[in-house]
């Protein structure tokens, strides 16, 4: 396997079909409609203060490699990592970590002091990534996910000024 040449950037409308293709190829990804992603790129001005989201896309050269969605809850100063999806053929190359780092940077720029997430309990690789990034487990939601049914593991990470090297390998889970 060759080392990917990853480029990260905020998504634009021309990325939406690639994002949907990546999402649909991943069984455990949240399957949002095209309109949900389009709304991130062109938010409703009447909702702008209540819902702040970023959509970051990763490319391996010219090929779409993954994406991540972050959400800011301005009133609480808390952000949420809503989705991280990496193309199967380039998984375990640091792309998920790089996408997370980009979302964390955006969350900090929006004033977030911590970031939360929920992840399927059967997603061992994702859980290892999040623990390697410093997340801690805070709870569980029984049967939160459907198709396939699974519990959600709740995790949180205080956002401090320490930088996360985007393409460095994650530290080993504790």
Is residue 144 a part of any domain in this protein?
no
Is the Cβ–Cβ distance between 57 and 102 less than 8 Å? no
Q: Which residue has tokens 């079909």?
A: 17
Is residue 137 a part of any domain in this protein?
no
Domain that holds residue 85: 6-117
- DSSP letter for each residue of 79-122: EEEEEEEE-GGGTTSSHHHHHHHHHHHHHHHTT-SEEEEEEETT
Is the Cβ–Cβ distance between 66 and 21 less than 8 Å? no
Is residue 164 a part of any domain in this protein?
no
Domain with residue 92: its CATH number is: 3.40.630.30
Segment 142-149 shows an average pLDDT of 85
pLDDT for position 164: 60
Is residue 131 a part of any domain in this protein?
no
Overall domain count for the chain:
1
pLDDT for position 160: 78
User: What whole-number distance in Å separates Cα of residue 40 and Cα of residue 93?
Assistant: 27
Is residue 82 a part of any domain in this protein?
yes
Question: What confidence tens digit (pLDDT) does each residue in 68-125 have?
Answer: 999 998 878 899 999 999 988 888 888 999 999 999 999 999 999 999 999 999 989 9
Is residue 101 a part of any domain in this protein?
yes
User: What whole-number distance in Å separates Cα of residue 122 and Cα of residue 143?
Assistant: 12
Is residue 122 a part of any domain in this protein?
no
Is residue 149 a part of any domain in this protein?
no
């Amino acid at each position: 396997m060759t080392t990917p040449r990853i480029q990260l950037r905020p998504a634009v409308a021309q990325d939406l079909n690639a994002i949907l293709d990546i999402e649909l190829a991943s069984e455990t990804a949240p399957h949002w409609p095209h309109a949900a992603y389009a709304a991130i790129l062109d938010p409703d001005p009447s909702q702008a203060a209540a819902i702040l989201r970023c959509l970051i896309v990763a490319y391996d050269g010219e090929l779409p490699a993954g994406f991540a969605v972050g959400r800011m809850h301005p009133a609480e100063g808390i952000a949420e990592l809503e989705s991280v999806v990496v193309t199967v053929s380039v998984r375990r190359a640091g792309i998920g970590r790089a996408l997370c780092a980009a979302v964390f940077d955006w969350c900090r720029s929006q004033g977030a002091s911590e970031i939360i997430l929920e992840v399927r309990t059967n997603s061992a690789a994702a859980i290892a990534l999040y623990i390697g990034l410093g997340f801690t487990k805070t709870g569980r939601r029984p049967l939160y996910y459907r198709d396939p049914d699974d519990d959600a593991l709740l995790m949180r990470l205080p956002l401090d000024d320490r930088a996360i090297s985007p393409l460095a390998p994650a530290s080993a889970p504790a």
